[in-house]
Amino acid sequence: MNFQLTEEHEMIRQAARDYAQRELIKDVIERDETATYPTQHVKALSELGFMGMLVDPKYDGGGMDTISYVLAMEEISKVDASVSVIMSVNNSLVCYGIEKYGTEEQKEKFLKPLARGEKIGAFLLSEPEAGSDATSQRTTAEDKGDYYLLNGTKNWITNGYTAGTYLVIAQTHPEKRHKGINAFIVDRHAEGISVGPHENKMGMRSSDTHSVMFTDVKVPKENRIGEDGFGFKFAMKTLEGGRIGIAAQALGLASGALERSIQYAKERKAFGTEIANHQAIAFKLSDMAVKVENARNLVLKAAWLKDQGMEYGTTSAMAKQYAADIAMEVTTEAVQIHGGYGYVKEYHVERLMREAKLTQIYEGTSEIQKIVISRSLLKD
């Protein structure tokens, strides 16, 4: 057992922290309020290599391990989860999916610009009538010989508008149910694609979430990932890794709220002393810290398992479910500790609370995670 981060891990964590505390903090409240996409920040984080940090350097990535990635995700999420979700989707869904399962040609053509952050990726799985249940895909990809023809609608797509590259999950052989599903790399600007309006969300307001409509969109055959019918497995495997990213995001929301609460409790006075000296507040901080520490350990364990090439699906589900649930609890307590100040935007914690809610919902709700966890416990 070794809980010591390496010097390089510390350097990466500090780099992400510096960027978040120095740059993201400046306009995060305004971007949240106006739901403005963080164009400059995505560009800057791309230049720093955070957008493709897990990708092998031979495909222009940062070549970092999953532990580095979750450390960076936590620090960015302490300040701006809208930015970290863009980072998460690009890294752990799109880049990971193509790098792990794509052909050499696909990596050359699509992965490199994604790893450099010149293009941002989006992962198109959810549908109006298929959120958590990924088996019932209504979007179809009809095999037309040398190309596929895409038709249908995808919902809640992070980076839906700004992405340059889509990973689309669609049904090719409805009769085979989930074994007929395929995954495709699709140029966002291909003919027949239209993007719906920006969703006006409760939190993560500056990430662009859209629905995307496909009408007779031609996708070249060579853009299919894996064998015919590999799509469902592809989506499930990719989401396993994606969960680590969102777990790290939830962790960041919680630990960011805790940091702010500690600082506030040491400065704010009530009844003649700093509120940190009141046991009611001190115990809240203690409870929050235990939850954050537990979540961090789970998240790091999942990342470590993945880096070791070991089975991590159940642990990443645990990490995602636990971190998301405690993020909601810890951010809510943070607002409570801040009192009236917690309810106004200047003190940041109300935003963290709104954002925490989404981590319990997207990339597999907490309930779905429990299904994953319990199935793994109960399987023979």
Partner 1 sequence: MSVLVYIENRDGQFKKNQLELMSYAKKISEATNQELVTLSIGNVKEEEWARLSAHGATRVLNGENLPNQIDNEVFAQALFAAIELVQPKYLILSDNNTGKALAPRVSVKYRAGIVSGILGLPISYEPFVGKKRAYSGKAFAHVKVNSDLKVLTLSPNSFEIKESSGNVQLEAFEPALPTPKTKVVQADKQMGKLLLSEADIVVSGGRGMKSADNWGPLEELAEVMGAATACSRPVSDEGWRPHHEHVGQTGKIIGPTLYIALGISGAIQHLAGVSSSKVIVAINKDPEAPIFTAADYGIVGDVQKLIPQLIDAYKELKQ
Partner 2 sequence: MKILVCISNVPDTTTRIKLSGDKKSVETNGVQWIINPWDELALTRAMELSEQNAGSIQAISVVSVGDASVEPTLRKALAVGANEAIRVNLVPADSYSVAVQLAEVVKQENPDLVLLGIESSDFNSSGVGAMLAELLGFASVSSVSSLELSSSGLTIKREVEGGTEQLECPLPAILSVQKGIALEPRIPAMRGIMMARSKPLKVVEPVAVEPLSEWIELELPEAKSACKMIPEDNAKELIRLLHEEAKVI
What residues are annotated to the active site? 363
In contact, 367 and 338? CB cutoff 8 Å: no
Q: Which of 56, 341, 365, 370 binds partner 1 (CB under 8 A)?
A: 341
Nearer to partner 2, 66 or 314 (CB): 66
Looking only at the bridges linking them, the beta strands covering 121-124 and 181-187 are unpaired
Exposed / middle / buried, residue 286 (Cβ in 10 Å: 0-12, 13-18, 19+): exposed
Task: Tell which phi-psi region holds residue 152, choosing left (phi > 0), alpha (psi between -120 and 50) or beta.
Answer: left
Residue 341 and residue 331: Cα distance in Å, rounded?
A: 14
Q: Which of 63, 113, 164, 229 binds partner 2 (CB under 8 A)?
A: 63
- Alpha-helix residue ranges (DSSP H) falling in 81-185: 81-88, 96-101, 104-106, 112-115
Least Å distance, CB 305 to partner 2, is: 22
The tokens for 370 are 């429990």
User: Which residue's entry shows tokens 């869904």?
Assistant: 93
Residues in contact with partner 2, shown as a per-residue x/- string from 22 to 61 under the rule CB under 8 A: x------------------------xxxx--x---x---x
In contact, 358 and 204? CB cutoff 8 Å: yes
Least Å distance, CB 61 to partner 2, is: 8
Site for partner 1 in 259-288 (CB under 8 A): 264, 267-268
Nearer to partner 1, 44 or 236 (CB): 44
Question: With CB under 8 A, what is the number of residues at the site for partner 2?
Answer: 20
Nearer to partner 2, 14 or 194 (CB): 14
Least Å distance, CB 63 to partner 2, is: 5
Residue 51 and residue 49: Cα distance in Å, rounded?
A: 6
Which one of partner 2, partner 1, none is in contact with 215 (Cβ closer than 5 to 8 A by kind)? Answer: none
Residue 80 and residue 133: Cα distance in Å, rounded?
A: 29
Nearer to partner 1, 214 or 264 (CB): 264
Q: Which of 12, 67, 71, 122 binds partner 2 (CB under 8 A)?
A: 12
Binding site for partner 1 (CB under 8 A): 264, 267-268, 341, 346
